[in-house]
A and B are shown apart, each in its own frame.
Chain A
Amino acid sequence: MSILRKALTTAAMATALVAGSAQAEDMRIALVVKALGIGFFEAANKGAQEAAAELGGVEIIYTGPTDTTAEGQIEVINSLIAQRVDAIAVSANDTDALVPTLKKAMDRGITVISWDSGVAAEGRQMHLNPSSSALIGNTIIKLAADHLPEGGEVAVLSATTTSTNQNTWIEEMNKVAGNYPDVKVVGTVYGDDLADKSYREAQGLMQTYPDLKAIIAPTSVGIVAAAQAVTDAGKIGQVNVTGLGLPSEMAGHVKSGASKSFAIWNPIDLGYSATMIAYHLAKGDAKAEPGATIPIGRMGEVTLDDNTEAAMADPFTYDASNIDEFSSIF
């Protein structure tokens, strides 16, 4: 008897814990993340809550599996379908495995979008990318140019020679390099996204180009290694390290001055925009079709391309003024 009582008490307690959140509101938007307990996604939730408060009459259901599995996400999505939520905005653990379940959700009249990490086109109405290759390519050279009013030599420290993302971004950067005539890109080296190799390649750059003014590393491994190499060489103030990195890993180098600024997408803006898009699609005042534009509140608007994908904005710039706020988030 005592076992039964214990089981009942456990279940009853669980029920009581969550009973408060079960009341219905006008529109319920589920923000499904890769896994709970990740700073990046907690920040996205913050943005989603901000959007909900701004819109009014919107309840955000922030949920996801405990580990980053497609199976866990499917269980979560099944229970959201059962609750007949109005919209699901998912950052997918698997491009393909979620498709059958999300199709079922759409069949039952639920708006489905993906953000951050996308779902194959047939499993969602649209996908929101945090940025686009063109915007990233422009941002990384602009970050270097911003701190070089008189121009000078800069070099790129990339990941591997075959990294699709980095190659595309560097290509886009070279396309717009003409807009920054004083900045001269003198070379590209590859650190293979390994900390020690990236460190040695950064050292090599400083030896090869004694007048080097900046290193652009569009990879979170490379940028940290380059900043460390600059610090160890005693060249803080002479060589500025910039590119794409994570605030938590870069905080020390921003404070030391090795990196004056760097960029990466802002998860708060991403959660905010995903919620705005889900809201407008579920409400029916916007359509997810190629060429359509969807308003995203304070972030402006996005335009869908031929694959019904959209890019949110320029990568967000982090410097001494905001690094503390974000380094605790991700």
Chain B
Amino acid sequence: MTTANPATTGRQIPDRLGSPAARALKSWEALLLVTAIAIFILNSLASPYFLDPWNLSDATFNFTEKAMIAFAMAMLIVAGEIDLSVGAIIALASTVMGVAMAAGAPTPVLVLLGLGTGLACGAFNGLLVARFGLPSIVVTIGTMSLFRGISYIVLGDGAFTGYPPAFAWFGQGYVVWVITVELVIFALAALAFGILLHRTNFGRMVYAIGNNATAARFSGIRVDRVRFILFLLTGLMSGIAAICLTSRLGSTRPSIASGFELEVVTIVVLGGVSILGGSGTIPGVVLAAFVMGLVTFGLGLLNVPGIVMSIIVGALLIAVIALPRLWRMARGA
């Protein structure tokens, strides 16, 4: 350490990739990778059913839909914003698809409506945050009730069922062998968001805004426009997740995807994205999704009660948030 202790001087914009911060991040992903491998090995030792291609394929459903949203959420959190309405967007998008399905719409129309609803919800959130300058946590807590409320008005305690067989492909189909359609969408989304955040000007702007929005604005970045686009992307990914989840469940109920927002944020934070904004990577989020999926599926195979599983995931999350800080304090002391 040549500079002062960063824990006491506040966040800084890293201007070179060789900085200590970047190295710490790198080691964070390495750590996640090692953890994922360790959990994989432990799982295979603990349960004779773990190392089965079909079982592992089933296990990916535990995280694929949430992880798709997590990529967009990661960029949003890097930019210093958050969207807690993602679960509600899924509910509304699913309801819109259900209404269209009941009216006899074919699969392509359902998909377009799912994407369109996601985008519209994202635009609504983005407008309130970027145009009217409202805090995103307040806006999205509001829209969380609003979007799901509309679903409840439309559906009450009823459900839409009877989606066309072709629609089942998204959530129940396989591309080749055990590789599910959802897993492919997950991989493509990881690639797209990885490039967007780490290889484009837009990605650099997101980091700049997250570190210091005022400075970013003075540097000529159209901060509100970037924020709006990020909410749009989160809405879009929620729409895609809605298509996958609705297809997998084969039905729509207003309670669909309840609690998704917190699980998505958990994956993002576990992936090493700072909840304060300004740092984090997509590969970290990908690894975190696998770690979460492996932990929950492995414990599930051993019939560990969900309550114990929640405790383990909670402990993991607190450890993840606390450890980097302790690490820095130890290094700085």
Contact = CB atoms under 8 A, between A and B. Distances in A.
Chain A bound to chain B: yes
Interface of A: 3-4, 6-8, 10-12, 14-15, 17-19, 21-22, 36-37, 61, 63-67, 69-72, 74-76, 78-79, 81-84, 94-97, 99-100, 120
Contact of A83 (B49, B255, B310): B49
B49 A100 contact: no
B276 interface: no
Contacts of B257: 71
A70 B253 contact: yes
B312 A14 contact: yes
B319 A70 contact: no
Nearest to B50: A82
Nearest to A100: B250
A84 to B, nearest CB: 7
Main secondary structure of the interface of A (DSSP, over half): helix
B35 A96 contact: no
A89 to B, nearest CB: 15
Contacts of B39: 7, 11
Nearest to B61: A78
Nearest to A95: B159
B256 interface: yes
Contact of A7 (B35, B250, B297): B35
Contacts of B35: 4, 7
Given A22-B302, A74-B249, 10 more contacts: A12-B42, A14-B304, A15-B302, A18-B304, A71-B249, A78-B59, A81-B58, A94-B249, A96-B159, A100-B250
Given A18-B302, A99-B250, A82 B52 contact: yes
Contact of A11 (B38, B58, B61): B38
Given A69-B258, A75-B62, A79-B300, A10 B315 contact: yes
B47 A100 contact: no
Given A6-B319, A100-B248, A17 B31 contact: no
Interface residues on B, range: 35 or more
A82 B304 contact: no
Interface string B294-306: 0111111111111
Given A14-B312, A78-B58, A97 B303 contact: no
Interface in B195-224: none
B306 A97 contact: no
A74 B309 CA distance: 16
A84 B58 CA distance: 13
Interface of B: 31, 34-35, 38-39, 42, 45-47, 49-50, 52, 54-55, 58-59, 61-62, 159, 161, 168, 171-172, 245, 248-251, 253, 255-259, 295-310, 312, 315-316, 319, 323, 327
Contacts of B295: 11
Contacts of A78: 58-59, 61-62, 297, 300
Nearest to B253: A94
A3 B49 contact: no
Contact of B256 (A3, A70, A76): A70
Contact of B300 (A21, A75, A96): A75
Contact of B172 (A22, A82, A100): A100
A36 B302 CA distance: 16
A94 B306 contact: no
Nearest to B45: A15
A69 B259 contact: yes
19 contacts: A7-B39, A10-B312, A10-B316, A12-B42, A14-B299, A15-B42, A18-B303, A18-B304, A21-B303, A37-B307, A63-B305, A66-B306, A74-B61, A75-B61, A78-B61, A78-B300, A82-B54, A94-B253, A100-B248
